[in-house]
Amino acid sequence: FSSFRFDIYRKVPKDLTQPTYTGAIISVCCCFFILFLFLSELTGFIATEIVNELYVDDPDKDSGGKIEVNLNISLPNLHCELVGLDIQDEMGRHEVGHIDNSMKISLNNGDGCRFEGHFSINKVPGNFHVSTHSATAQPQNPDMTHIIHKLSFGDKLQVQNIHGAFNALGGADKLSSNPLASHDYILKIVPTVYEDMNGKQRYSYQYTVANKEYVAYSHTGRIIPAIWFRYDLSPITVKYTERRQPLYRFITSICAIIGGTFTVAGILDSCIFTASEAWKKIQLGKMQ
């Protein structure tokens, strides 16, 4: 009994092997091919991938039922003292002239205004709107033409591989609209979770939007335009998870690359060698 019996990789004496130029060329090509596939697999192993999934849940339960909103809008033909933000929802909230964490910047020598606000809304259907409702004296013909620079919800996700609608209204230009028209933006907010390699989660919100314009009259017959953002929340949550290829899968791929390449190259070399030997015998007249 000998342990050498367990050797499944039996060695052929070097004197019994025959090198060929064809085998050398195939071996060199085989090595370059293996190197190319190895580097490709290594790049994929080092890089991270983003996996997404959908489920029904409220991911950010620690938020107290609130969603942070960032609004940046310019009204080039309306004075800053007339511009205000109103918030209302189905939980009974009704604020006129919300001013916390907001800023107004004069434009066009005081004829226009840029409104920047950071505020929170409840996770129930509702709306917030930019209007002149909170002004002490209402203007005769308020001009609500505007440009929306930014409207986003929740944390900002700076991830290259995610191209979602986190600022779907960014760049919306309504300067050519009817100055007296009201603008309705109907938003469908979708909760979004991003989990990095360390398991840290960030909560943001994507949204879809539809809009319409119309002229609204008050009970006195006066036109009172506004820019409405009516929102509702989707029960579906989108989750992005950052992952890296497991080590065992990388090792399996490398073994498959090396083994498969050598096997195919061996078959190819064997076929070429057999055909070459047969051709030599035919030339020598040894094959009938």
Alpha carbon of 211 to those of 68, 132, 169, 183, 208: distances in Å? Answer: 22, 20, 10, 7, 10
Find out whether 134 and 81 touch, Cβ atoms under 8 Å: no
Find out whether 181 and 225 touch, Cβ atoms under 8 Å: yes
Residue 287: per-residue pLDDT: 56
User: Radius of gyration over alpha carbons of the chain, in Å?
Assistant: 35
pLDDT for 118-148, tens place per residue? 999 999 999 999 999 888 888 888 999 999 9
Spans of the chain, pLDDT less than 50? none
pLDDT for 169-193, tens place per residue? 999 999 999 999 999 999 999 999 9
The model's pTM? 0.73
What ranges in the chain are assigned the alpha helix state H? 21-46, 247-284
